[in-house]
Amino acid sequence: MQQWRGLGGGKGRCCPPGRGKVGRLGSTHLRRLSSCQSHPMDHASAPLVVGLTGGIGMGKSTVSRMLEQRNVPVLDADQMVHELYAAGGLAVEPIGAAFPTAVTGGAVDRTALSACVVGNPAALRQLEDIVHPLVKAQRCLGLRRAAEWGAEAVVLDIPLLFETGAEADCDLTVAVSAPPHIQRRRVLSRKGMSPGWLLF
């Protein structure tokens, strides 16, 4: 099932030109974001698209939850990747072909996959070539649905926003950051994570 917090980024543009402006999420934008469900737009109108980015462990999920509490739909790239890696996910077969040891019981084993790509730039690029197009398709679908449903704003929660070219779909971008020691503590507290992930 498609979910708002299961859609995310990828290379290329799927919205009209004129986007990509970098700015700060101030009170004016927050007021507009919080009213997205209260004042439906014409279905042909594109919603305000906010790109939310930052490295692993920086606090993007916390910011996303805060915006969701204001009834702002969030398209979450990380959650989409989790769904792609789960049993039956579209990424399982191609990842299994590229990294046979990374698939167990019909699903991608993130720890095993990490061992395949951490410290191996060529393998990481191969993985990105598999995953990014799948996530891009879901992001584009989510943005179209946001417009059809009359959402006034939508947030793209994408760690690799600029690296994948997804900022082309954004009206403004917001970067979330945290001190290195806090980032390290957060990352290493997660299951299957190792210090190598701090390099991404």
Give which of 17, 11, 9 is closest to 154, Cα–Cα: 9
| Ordered domains of the chain (ranges, CATH) | 4-9+20-199 (3.40.50.300)
Position 148 confidence tier, pLDDT thresholds 50, 70, 90: confident
Torsional class of 172: left (φ above 0), alpha (ψ -120 to 50), beta (otherwise):
beta
pTM summary value: 0.67
Beta pairing partners, 104: 107
CA distances from 88 to 94, 105, 111, 166 (A): 12, 11, 19, 26
Give which of 64, 68, 96, 75 is closest to 6, Cα–Cα: 75
Alpha carbons 5 and 157: distance in angstroms, whole number? 9
Inform me whether the pLDDT recorded for 43 exceeds 80: no
Inform me whether the pLDDT recorded for 42 exceeds 50: no
Inform me whether the pLDDT recorded for 6 exceeds 50: no
Position 198 confidence tier, pLDDT thresholds 50, 70, 90: low
pLDDT in tens, 118-144: 999 999 999 999 999 999 998 988 888
For the segment 96-110, the average pLDDT, to the nearest whole number, is 97
| Number of residues that this document lists for the chain | 200
